[in-house]
Amino acid sequence: MTYTGVFFDLYGTLLVYGDMETAWADWLEVFYAGLCRRGLTLSKTAFAETCNNFFARPEPDDNGDNLTVYERRILAHCQAIGLHLDEDALRSVADETAKSWQGHITPDPQAIPVLTELAKTKTLALISDFDHPPHLYRLLADFKLGPFFKTVVVSGEVGITKPDPGIFSFALERTGVEPENVIYVGDTMKDVHGALAAGLTPVLIKRDSDNNVQMDYTNGGVHDTHIKADHNHPAQVISSLTSLIDIAR
């Protein structure tokens, strides 16, 4: 098989997780401080309880308000605790909290060397499930990853999340690459199953550091919602990004 395209997930794939328990503690601290400046009167302990499983809740409806999914989550949360935020305050809180959480997630040191090598002969694209696209685009610029990709598809913009194969169709249409000629690299079973359903060849990156990744805020302990790999799938499993260079030849 000749592969002409390599498409990537972002978080957990090109970006690696650090101490996510601390990341969520920082997120809560900034979230609480931001709302206190805007009239919140709950104690920090009480507020923390209201934030349990913040991202596991159903996605708020899009009422044509031009907000990101993450901003709508914050808006719904504030409304539930009796706090009103105007649009400017809402955007500020969203950006501040996303930035605080991001401080514990950094590019894989192999990311730029591998992307540089692959880009010589392959069409590259990024497909990411993320609720706050402005933050993601700032990261791509800050980490100098953006120029490698012919297109970037973000669930918060297209309204589809993995493993729905529909999210992959945007990247395929924009790049003009046929699915059977594309490798998709991700770190969860959603990535594997979505890629398979869309006709792409999945590659699963499984680092030792991926164990016990805390993917949502939970007060009082780690709540691991990261979808771990199983061995009942046809995806090739790699432990480092450099392995892609030989796979994609």
User: For residue 142, how many C-alpha atoms fall within 13 Å in the half-sphere facing its CB?
Assistant: 12
Q: Hey, what are 120's tokens?
A: 């010589």
CA–CA separation, 175 vs 42, rounded Å? 49
pLDDT tens string 230-246: 556 678 999 999 999 99
Lowest mean pLDDT among 42-51, 55-64, 131-140, 197-206: 55-64
pLDDT tens string 80-113: 999 999 999 999 999 999 999 999 999 999 999 9
CA–CA separation, 205 vs 185, rounded Å? 7
Burial of 112 (0-12, 13-18, 19+ CB in 10 A): middle
Average pLDDT over every residue of 17-26: 93
Place of tokens 């499930």: 129
Q: Which residue has the higher pLDDT, 225 or 149?
A: 149
Q: Is the pLDDT of residue 33 over 60?
A: yes
DSSP-assigned beta bridge partners for residue 107: 15
Q: Is the pLDDT of residue 125 over 60?
A: yes
Q: Give the residue among 182, 180, 187, 175 at the shortest CA–CA distance from 148.
A: 175
Average pLDDT score over the chain: 92
CA angle 204/136/14 to nearest 5° reads 30
How much of the chain is in helix, strand and coil states, percent to nearest 5?
Answer: 45, 15, 40
Structure confidence at residue 218 (pLDDT): 87
Structural contact between residues 52 and 217, judged by C-beta atoms closer than 8 angstroms: yes
> Residue 178, by phi and psi: left (phi above 0), alpha (psi -120 to 50) or beta?
beta
pTM: 0.91
Structure confidence at residue 116 (pLDDT): 98
Q: Is the pLDDT of residue 228 over 80?
A: no
Structural contact between residues 216 and 54, judged by C-beta atoms closer than 8 angstroms: yes
CA dihedral 139, 145, 146, 152 (to 10 degrees): -80
Instruction: Report the Cα 48 to chain-centroid distance in Å.
Output: 23
Average pLDDT over every residue of 9-28: 95
Lowest mean pLDDT among 26-30, 59-63, 114-118: 59-63
Q: Which residue has the higher pLDDT, 79 or 211?
A: 79
Confidence of residue 223 (pLDDT cuts 50, 70, 90): very low
Structural contact between residues 154 and 133, judged by C-beta atoms closer than 8 angstroms: yes
